Amino acid sequence: MLQIESLKVFHGLIEAVHGIDIKISKGQCVCLLGPNGAGKTSTLSSITGTARATGSVRLDGNDIMALSIEERCKRGIAISPEGRRIFSNLSIQDNMIMGGAIRRDKTRLAQEIEEWISHFPVLGERRNQPAGTLSGGEQQMLAIVRALLSKPRILLLDEPSLGLAPQITARVFEIIRDLKKQEMTILLVEQNVAAAMEVSDYVYVLNNGAISSHGDVGKFGDGSDLMDELMGVHR
Ligand code: ATP
């Protein structure tokens, strides 16, 4: 579904990602692991169109590199960004409506908002309150729901467990497992290696802007070597 080839990502004069290849098939959950500053967010930004990049990113065989952010969203790319980035001053309801802003089927959108509220009642109970009043975990749920309300074909999740308590993290990964059951295609960026490996089919490890290893999740066993690699431990 998504094919990335020779991707380089730039922030001004800095080349943050140095020509990587990533492939994601329909219904797969692919995980991108790596230490701080490895280039994970930069990679996601090049897919959504918010960072300057060269190389190719193809969605269903069509190169999307020349498309605007909005056009990529219309083609089915959605992101729950690092740090949630919900609209804190807007109500919870308006955040959800914003998620579906590109859609024309507003009646269906309204129904889907109610369906999501039945999954996460807090979003309904407090729908008219500013989204910034939600807890970190609730904001993460809202960020994922907002992304899903655009009806994506592929969902990019940037560190959804960052800063969350273990119980809330478990809930976030439960949601990812549910989405997988519904055959959502997911590219997951995580630092929580164990939890990420549990939900992923395929793993890429990014180090200093380059892929240092990749393979089916089974290739990495219990993930302990992977964790050592990410923490720079040499045995
Ligand atoms: P983290 O887990 O800390 O978010 P990451 O793997 O997502 O890290 P990126 O955020 O993609 O890494 O950063 C990759 C490199 O690009 C880093 O050296 C970072 O300092 C640099 N970088 C990222 N964004 C910018 C920017 N807007 N301007 C300049 N340099 C940037």
Give me ligand 1 centre to Cα 158, in Å. 13
What's residue 11's pLDDT? 95
Strand partners, 165: none
What's residue 8's pLDDT? 97
Instruction: Determine phi and psi for 165, rounding to 5 degrees.
Output: -65, 155
CB 65 within 8 A of CB 53: yes
Alpha-carbon gap, residue 224 to 129, rounded angstroms: 43
- Give yes or no for residue 81 CB within 6 A of ligand 1: no
- Give yes or no for residue 16 CB within 6 A of ligand 1: yes
- Give yes or no for residue 36 CB within 6 A of ligand 1: yes
Window from 26-35, 57-66, 202-211, 223-232 with minimum mean pLDDT: 223-232
User: What CATH number is given for 2-80+139-231 in this structure?
Assistant: 3.40.50.300
Give me ligand 1 centre to Cα 41, in Å. 7
* Helix-, strand-, coil-residue percentages of the chain, each rounded to 5: 40, 30, 30
Strands (E), the chain: 2-11, 14-24, 29-33, 52-59, 62-63, 77-80, 154-158, 185-190, 202-207, 210-216
The predicted-structure confidence for 184-230, as pLDDT tens digits, reads as follows 999 999 988 988 999 999 999 999 999 999 999 988 888 787 787 77
Name the pTM for this structure.
Answer: 0.92
Among protein residues, the one with the nearest Cα to ligand 1's atom 30 is 11
Give me ligand 1 centre to Cα 163, in Å. 18
What's residue 196's pLDDT? 92
Alpha-carbon gap, residue 22 to 15, rounded angstroms: 18
Give me ligand 1 centre to Cα 16, in Å. 7
Q: What's the average model confidence in pLDDT over 17-39?
A: 95
- Give yes or no for residue 38 CB within 6 A of ligand 1: yes
Closest ligand 1 atom, CA of 39? 11
The sign one gets for the Cα dihedral 119, 122, 123, 128 is positive
Residue 140 CB burial class (10 angstroms; 0-12, 13-18, ≥19): buried
Average pLDDT, the chain: 91
